[in-house]
Amino acid sequence: MAAKWIEALTGSLEQKKQYKQAKARLDALPQPYAATADAFHRYFLYFGGISEGDTLVQMIADFADLWERAALDGTPIDALIGDDPVEFAENFASAYSGKQWIDKERARLVQAVDEATGKAKES
C-alpha cells in the first residue's frame, strides 16, 4: 500500500532502479568513454525534455548499450559520434521523442493565440 502511495508522488520505483542501473553502466565504462558518455548524459537531461519515465529509461539503457559496445570494440569516439557532438546527441535523443514537458506549453500557446484572435473552437 505504501509503495503505491510513494510511487504516486515520485513516479515508478522500478523505473528509477532501471535508470540507476543504466547510469551505473555508463559510469563503469573505461576512460575516455565514461567521461564522454557522462557529458552526453548531462546534455540529454537538458535537451531531451522527456517527461515519460519509461522513454527516458529506454533511451539511457540503449545509450549504455551503444557505449559499452564501442568500448568493447575499441571504436574511436570520433568514429562513433562524428564531427559534431551536438548533432549526434540531438539525433540520438530525437529517436526517443515521446511526450516532452514543452508539449503542454505548446498547446497552451496555440490555444491562447486562437482565443486572442477569435479563432478558438466553440464547444
pLDDT at 118: 85
DSSP string, 58-78: HHHHHHHHHHHHHHHHT--HH
Q: How many domains would you assign to the chain?
A: 1
pLDDT at 25: 97
Distance between CA 89 and CA 45 in Å, rounded?
11
pLDDT at 11: 63
Q: Is residue 123 part of a domain?
A: no
Tens digit of pLDDT for each residue in 83-96? 999 999 988 988 88
Q: What is the pTM of this model?
A: 0.72
Distance between CA 71 and CA 36 in Å, rounded?
11
Name the residue type at position 108: R
Q: How confident is the model at residue 78 (pLDDT cuts 50, 70, 90)?
A: very high
Full residue range of the structural domain in which residue 23 is found: 2-116
Q: Is residue 122 part of a domain?
A: no
Q: Which residues contact 48 (CB under 8 A, 6 or more apart)?
A: 56, 59, 93, 96, 100
